[in-house]
Structure 1
C-alpha cells in the first residue's frame, strides 16, 4: 500500500470517528433543560417567582387584591377521548417501528419510557376540566406563600369577628371552587370562612365574556380563527408533522390529529407531574414545542386580548372593582374594607384584565406569517397565564403619596411608569383610571 493511500484511509477513518463522536444520540430523558413552556398548559411551578421584599419605604400595606386562575386541570372531554383512543395505538406502533423495523430515531431510554407509559387511570371523560391533585397543591402552596409575604394582612381571624376581613369569590365550576378552597387552606388551614360562588349567568365581574352578546358575536366573526388556521395549515406545521413522523419511524405521514394529541399528552403530563417528564415529549424538538406554544398564543391573542377591539371593555369589571376598593382606602374607609380580596376564575378573564391594563402589548400584532420574528414577543401566555396564574395588587398607605405594588405570578410586574412593580396611586388614576371608572357593560345589551 502506498504511503499516500495509507494516509488517505487514515484521514477518512479519523474524520468518520470525529463525525460519529459529535453526532451524540439525543435523549429527551437526559435533557437537563427541557422546554417546559406550553402556553396556557404551562405548569405554575415552572413559571412563578418568589416575592423577596414587600416593604415600601414610609408605607403600610392596607389590602391585597388578587385575580387568580384555577390550578392544573384535566383536559377537555374531546381531548381525553382522543388520548384514550389514539395514544395506546400510537405507542405500540412507535415501539414496533423501532424494534421490529429498525426505523425511527428515539434513543433507547426514551423508547423504554414510552414502552412503560400508561394513561393516567384517573383520567375520566366525566371529570373533564376538573382540578387535579397538582392543581390543589398549586393553590395550597400559593396561599401559604402569600401568608408569609404579607403577615400584617393575612393572619387567621376569630370566627366571631364582626368585620369581614377577607373576601373570597369563585366562578361556578369545580376547578375554581376547589382552587379557592385549597388557597384558603394554604392561608389559614382547615377553617370555615365566608365565600361566594356566582353562576355564570349572573357573573358580570368575572365572566362577563360568557354573557356579553356583542363580545360573543365579535369572537365568532373574528379573523383570529383564520390566523390560527393559517398557522396549522401552513408550511411550518406541515414540516413539523413530517419531521415527527420520521422521528417516530413512520413511513407514511402521521394524521393531523395524531401529532397534536401527542403534544397534548406531553404538556398536560408535564404539568400533572412536575418532577417527571412525559415520554411523549420525546417526539418533539424544542423548536417544535415552541411552534405549539405560538399556536396557543395566537389563539389567545385573538380570543381574549389585543386582537379583539372589545377586549379592554370586557376586561374592565375587575379593574373597576380593584379601583373601587383602593379608592375607599384612599379616602380613609379602612375599617369597612377587607384586608384581602381574592377572586378565582379562568385564563380568559385574566388575559382580558391584563389587556385592559395594557400589559404585554406588542408593537405589531401576532400573525401566522410573522412567527419567526416574534420570538421575543410580549404576549406569551406561558408567562402571563399558566395554570394558577395570578395578578396581585397591594395598596399601601404612605406618608406622602400612596402606592400600589403589582405582582404577576409572584414576580414584580414590569409596568410602564412604575419601578419594579411599585406605582404611584395618583399616576395609576391618570393612566388607567378612566377605564376603571367608565366601565360600560351596556355594550353587551346592544
Structure 2
C-alpha cells in the first residue's frame, strides 16, 4: 500500500510539472506592438454611436499598417534561434525539461512560412486580411460616405513604405470599391509621419541608445531573469540562453501566431503567461520612451495630424469638406497622437523597477497591428435647429476616455484640438 501511494504521488507530481500550452483554455494573447488586430479589436457594426436626427457627414481616420513581416536583422536572429528545436527534442528524449509531449511534437513539426522569412518588411498575408476586414466593416457602417465618393471628396494616403501602401490596397479591397484612388506617399514629410523628416527625433530619440535605458535595465531585473531561468528549466536544454535568444524566441512566438485564424504558434509553448507579460512590458517601456510620455517632444508630433483632423471637420461643417480622409501610418504615430490627446497616461511613469499590471499605457491594445483611431463628424437636425457632434473610436469601439463615452459636442471637440493649430516643428 505504501509503495502504491509513492507511485501515485510520483506520477501526480510528474503530471503537474508538465506545462501543456496546446490545450490551455485561456492563452495570454498580448504581444506589445506585434499583437494581431483580431485579439484586440471591437466591431464598428455593433458599436457605432447613433442618435435620432444625426447623420455622419465626414470620417477621418489614422490607421496603423496591417501585420508585416520582420526586418532582415530580426529574420536572421529568429532563424538562428530555431536550432533550439533540436536541443529540445534531445532533452525530451532524455527525460529532461518539463514540456509536455504534444508541445514538443508541435514544435518539432513546425515549418517556417516562406512569406514571413523571405519577404522581409513586407505586409504579411494576415496583415492584408486585417486591412480588408477593417475596410469591409467600416464601409458597411459608413456606406454613404465611403462608397459614393468622387476623387475630390476623399483622401487615401499612407506614409512611405511598401507595407503601408499595400495596407491601403487591402483596405480598398475590403471596401469593394476598386475605383478609389490612392494618393502617392511622400518620402520626405507628411502629416501622418512628421517625425520621419526630423533629425532631432531620428537621431536624438529613435536612434539614441539612452532612450531604451529602462527597457535594457529591466532585463537585469529579477522578473526577466526568472523568465530566462524558467525557459531554461522548461526546455531542459544544455546551454545557457542569452537575452538575445529570449528575444528571438519571443519574436518567433508572436510573428508566427495568427489572429485571423486564431492559431497560436508552437513557439509560444516555451513561455508561461507570466513570461509573456514580462516580455510585453519590455515593449511597453520601449514605446513609452521612444514614442510616448517618456520623451516630451513626442506630443508635439502628435498634434500635427490632429490639426489636420480639426481643419478637415471645420471644412466639412462649412459645407466644403471631404466625405472621408484616411491616413495609414506606423505605431510611432499612433502613440504620439495618444499622447497629444492625453490618453492612457499613468500617474507614475513606467520604469524598470516596477511593472504595474494595471497600467494604462499598453502598447498591445493601443498600438497593435492595424490599430486605428477613427473619428466621425455628425450633423444633427432637430426641428429648425442644426447642431454637430464628434465621435472618437479606437479599434472599432467608442473611445470612452474622451468626452462623453467618446461623443464630444462640437464645442468640446474644438476646445480640445484648437490649441494644436499653431504647432510648428522648428526644433527639427
TM-score for the superposition, normalised by structure 2: 0.92
Q: Deviations over 1:31-68 (max 9, x none)?
A: 12111100100000111001223313332211110101
Q: Which residue of structure 2 lines up, in the alignment, with residue 387 of structure 1?
A: 369
Where does 1:279-428 land on structure 2 (aligned, <5 Å)?
Answer: 279-330=266-317, 332-333=318-319, 336-371=320-355, 374-399=356-381, 401-416=387-402, 418-428=403-413
Structure 1 residue 116: deviation in Å?
0.4
CA distance, structure 2, for counterparts of residue 259 and residue 222 of structure 1: 20
Equivalent residue in structure 1 for 2:30, among 16, 24, 37: 37
Structure 1 residue 12: deviation in Å?
5.8
Q: Which residue of structure 2 lines up, in the alignment, with residue 23 of structure 1?
A: 16
Structure 1 residue 21: deviation in Å?
9.5
CA distance, structure 1, for counterparts of residue 174 and residue 131 of structure 2: 7
CA distance, structure 2, for counterparts of residue 139 and residue 50 of structure 1: 13
CA distance, structure 1, for counterparts of residue 260 and residue 232 of structure 2: 26
CA distance, structure 2, for counterparts of residue 278 and residue 22 of structure 1: 23
Structure 1 residue 407: deviation in Å?
0.6
Equivalent residue in structure 2 for 1:91, among 54, 60, 85: 85
Structure 1 residue 185: deviation in Å?
1.4
- Partner of 1:164, secondary structure, is helix
Equivalent residue in structure 2 for 1:56, among 34, 51, 60: 51
- Partner of 2:230, secondary structure, is helix
Structure 2 residue ranges without an equivalent (≥5): none
Q: Which residue of structure 2 lines up, in the alignment, with residue 130 of structure 1?
A: 122
CA distance, structure 2, for counterparts of residue 424 and residue 198 of structure 1: 33
CA distance, structure 2, for counterparts of residue 319 and residue 35 of structure 1: 33
Q: Is the 8 A contact 1:41 1:271 kept in 2?
A: no
- Partner of 1:247, secondary structure, is helix
1:144 matched to 2:157? no
Q: Is the 8 A contact 2:157 2:185 kept in 1?
A: yes
Q: Which residue of structure 2 lines up, in the alignment, with residue 238 of structure 1?
A: 225
TM-score for the superposition, normalised by structure 1: 0.89
Structure 1 residue 155: deviation in Å?
1.9
- Partner of 2:58, secondary structure, is strand
Structure 1 residue 10: deviation in Å?
9.3
Q: Which residue of structure 2 lines up, in the alignment, with residue 3 of structure 1?
A: none
Structure 1 residue ranges without an equivalent (≥5): 1-5
Q: Is the 8 A contact 1:43 1:274 kept in 2?
A: no
Structure 1 residue 22: deviation in Å?
8.1
CA distance, structure 2, for counterparts of residue 305 and residue 222 of structure 1: 16
CA RMSD for the aligned pairs? Answer: 2.2
Structure 1 residue 76: deviation in Å?
1.5
Which structure has the larger Rg over C-alpha atoms?
1
